[in-house]
Amino acid sequence: MKAHVASLINAITLVAMGAWGYLGSANPSKTALIPVFFGVMLFVLNRGLKIENKAVAHIVVLLTLIIMVALIKPLNAAMGRGDNMAMIRVGLMMLTSAFAFVLFIKSFIDARRRS
């Protein structure tokens, strides 16, 4: 799978799961929209990633790493509350972010070998 496809899947997952978490909550917090914001940014940058713009690729990798690390606290909070659906949503966002991150690293290594 290409890195831009993994990033697109990650962006869609962040938007969908983040919106579900926000809209599905009895007392929603604005911080629940952070993954949505990151997902929209990744979606907007996806075209640059697809045409292999190096600057865009590095920005996307950084954003992916930031959201992946930032989701640790919501996962811990969901586990503390015993909220299984929140654990699944956050876990899925972390999983797609980690998958995209691994493919980015692989694509950077491949590009380095080609040059």
Distance set, CA 75 to CA 19, 41, 87, 101 (Å):
16, 22, 6, 19
Tell me the C-alpha distance between 12 and 109, whole Å: 26
| Per-residue model confidence as pLDDT tens digits over 46-62 | 999 999 899 999 999 99
Tell me, what's the pLDDT at 87? 95
**Does residue 111 carry a pLDDT above 90?**
no
**Does residue 115 carry a pLDDT above 80?**
no
Tell me, what's the pLDDT at 112? 84
Spans of all domains in the chain: 3-25+32-114
- Give how far the C-alpha of residue 12 lies from the chain's centroid of Cα atoms, to the nearest Å: 9
Higher-confidence residue: 85 or 28? 85
Tell me, what's the pLDDT at 32? 87
Under 8 Å between Cβ of 64 and 100: yes
| Per-residue model confidence as pLDDT tens digits over 26-41 | 888 888 899 999 999 9
Higher-confidence residue: 25 or 58? 58
pTM of the complete model: 0.91
Average pLDDT of the chain to the nearest whole number: 93
Q: Is 79 exposed, middle or buried (0-12, 13-18, 19+ CB in 10 A)?
A: middle
